[in-house]
């Protein structure tokens, strides 16, 4: 076989599953293949596509910046970078006062761990079972799941895992050598898991009492996904360090680590930098995204569509269904079997969903999802489970 005849994917490292689809464009909340077939994207490009595809306010901002200046090292001043940082700090609130920009959610977590180490002089962290913070080496140390971790053991520093929602576990894990606690307000990869409000109250109280930094990972749950700008707003979370990513820059690679003034003062010159971090193109995307998330109706719409979707998922009565759960447009349907056949069945009906573990369907649709599209998804799921029941 000549090199020109080798399929393109043969040149790629085989680290991703093959969904058997190839897309050439996107429009609204749909992905489109070469034959023109349209697929409703309820995976939202793993939560990145907050406004679907071809969303003009985002495209216009990126196009203008692309024509002006794409990349500029952080050692040079950049007005759009300053503007993005200011708007992000103002929107995130609490004690967060400074931003470090990087290129992905995992990089945002890497920075958070290093900054916590610098601020405390300690290298011990408490993390949550079923938590997910990325797969780079430091972030992987905080991530739960042996399938990700086993090949690379031993990992970095000391990370103690406790059950998400277990107040006593947190109390026992925090000691004088603990630098920080890192958690997601809603566990994403772990299956869209929620914890009670009093759990977060107790975690914050313990962190403050014991001088431990609270690191909140809102890479998946933030940016309006749960019906508020940050999911932590609903739990009254006030972190020392906040991690963001996914759709923050309108689809351009981005990571953001927000820190309090005390943490910021502990970070010395040259200690942690990124060649492409804070590049003007991504910063234009941040400004445009934050502007859209400031529209008064949007978060209310997320709450309405999320409630509609969750109620519909909970109405599916089938022996294979364990439960539906979620917050806003961060939703899950847990099954008693592997989800791959259901994902394929949805795909065959023109709908893209993703998994959260082996047995859970995950839905992270664009925030622009409409009422009719929710009903399309629910109809397809009911049809799939009705057919399966008939085959039993």
Q: Which of 236, 266, 293 is the last residue of a domain?
A: 293
Q: Which of 259, 293, 327 is the last residue of a domain?
A: 293
Q: Which domain holds residue 312?
A: 3-54+297-391
Which of the four pLDDT bands, split at 50, 70 and 90, describes residue 384?
very high
Q: What is the 3-state secondary structure (H, E, C) of the chain?
A: CCHHHCCHHHHCCCCCCCCCCCEEEEEECEEEECCCCEEEECCHHHHCCCCCECCHHHHHHHHHHHHHCCCCCCCCCCHHHHHHHHHHHHHHCCCEEEEEEECCHHHHHHHHHHHHHHHHCCCEEEEECCCCCCCCHHHHHHCCCHHHHHHHCCCCCEEEEECCCCHHHHHHHCCCCEEEEEECCCECCCCCECCCHHHHHHHHHHHHHHCCEEEEECCCCCCCCCCCCCHHHHHCCCCCEEEECHHHHCCCCCEEEEEEHHHHHCCCCCCCCCCCCCCHHHHHHHHHHHHHHCCHHHHHHHHHHHHHHHHHHHCCCCCCEEEEEEECCEEEEEECCCCHHHHHHHHHCCEECEECCCCEEEECCCCCCCHHHHHHHHHHHHHHHHHHHHHC
- Mean pLDDT of all residues in the chain? 95
For 180-221, how does the pLDDT look when each residue is reduced to its tens digit (9 = 90+)?
Answer: 999 999 999 999 999 998 999 999 999 999 999 999 999 999
Q: Which of 293, 327, 347 is the last residue of a domain?
A: 293
Which of the four pLDDT bands, split at 50, 70 and 90, describes residue 94?
confident
State pTM to two decimals.
0.95
For 349-372, how does the pLDDT look when each residue is reduced to its tens digit (9 = 90+)?
Answer: 999 999 999 999 999 999 999 999
Same domain? For 69 and 160 the reply is yes
pLDDT above 80 (res 5): no
For 133-190, how does the pLDDT look when each residue is reduced to its tens digit (9 = 90+)?
Answer: 999 999 999 999 888 999 999 998 999 999 999 999 999 999 999 999 999 999 999 9
Position 251 scores a pLDDT of 97
CATH at residue 76: 3.40.640.10
Same domain? For 215 and 203 the reply is yes
Position 6 scores a pLDDT of 55
């Amino acid at each position: 076989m000549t090199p020109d005849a080798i399929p393109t994917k043969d040149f790629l490292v085989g680290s991703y599953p093959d969904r058997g689809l190839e897309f050439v464009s996107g429009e609204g909340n749909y992905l489109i293949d070469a034959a023109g077939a349209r697929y409703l994207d309820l995976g939202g490009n793993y939560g990145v596509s907050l406004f679907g595809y071809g969303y003009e306010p985002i495209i216009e901002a990126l196009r203008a910046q692309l024509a002006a200046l794409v990349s500029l090292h952080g050692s040079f001043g950049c007005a759009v970078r300053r503007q993005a940082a200011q708007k992000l700090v103002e929107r995130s609130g609490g004690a967060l006062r400074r931003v470090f920009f990087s290129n992905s959610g995992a990089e945002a977590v890497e920075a958070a761990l290093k900054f916590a180490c610098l601020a405390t002089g300690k290298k011990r962290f408490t993390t949550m079972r079923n938590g997910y913070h990325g797969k780079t080496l430091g972030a992987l140390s905080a991530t739960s799941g042996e399938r990700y971790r086993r090949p690379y053991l031993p990992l970095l520093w000391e990370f103690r895992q406790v059950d998400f929602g277990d107040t006593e576990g947190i109390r026992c894990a925090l000691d004088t050598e603990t630098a920080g606690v890192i958690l997601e307000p809603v566990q994403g990869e772990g299956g869209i898991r929620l914890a009670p409000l009093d759990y977060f109250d107790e975690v914050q109280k313990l962190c403050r009492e014991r001088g431990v930094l609270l690191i909140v990972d809102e890479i998946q749950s933030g940016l309006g996904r749960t019906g508020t700008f940050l999911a932590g707003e609903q739990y009254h979370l006030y972190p020392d360090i906040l991690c963001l990513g996914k759709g923050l820059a309108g689809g351009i690679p981005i990571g953001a680590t927000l820190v309090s003034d005390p943490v910021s003062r502990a970070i010395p010159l040259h200690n942690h930098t990124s060649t492409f971090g804070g590049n003007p193109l991504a910063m234009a995307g941040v400004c445009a995204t934050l502007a859209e998330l400031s529209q008064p109706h949007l978060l209310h719409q997320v709450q309405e569509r999320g409630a509609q979707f969750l109620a519909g998922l909970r109405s599916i009565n089938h022996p294979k269904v364990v439960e539906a759960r979620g917050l806003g447009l961060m939703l899950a349907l847990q099954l008693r079997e592997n989800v791959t056949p259901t994902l394929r069945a949805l795909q065959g009906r023109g709908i893209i969903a993703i998994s959260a573990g082996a047995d859970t369907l995950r839905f992270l649709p664009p925030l622009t999802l409409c009422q009719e599209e929710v009903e399309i998804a629910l109809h397809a799921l009911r049809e799939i489970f009705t057919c399966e029941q008939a085959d039993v």
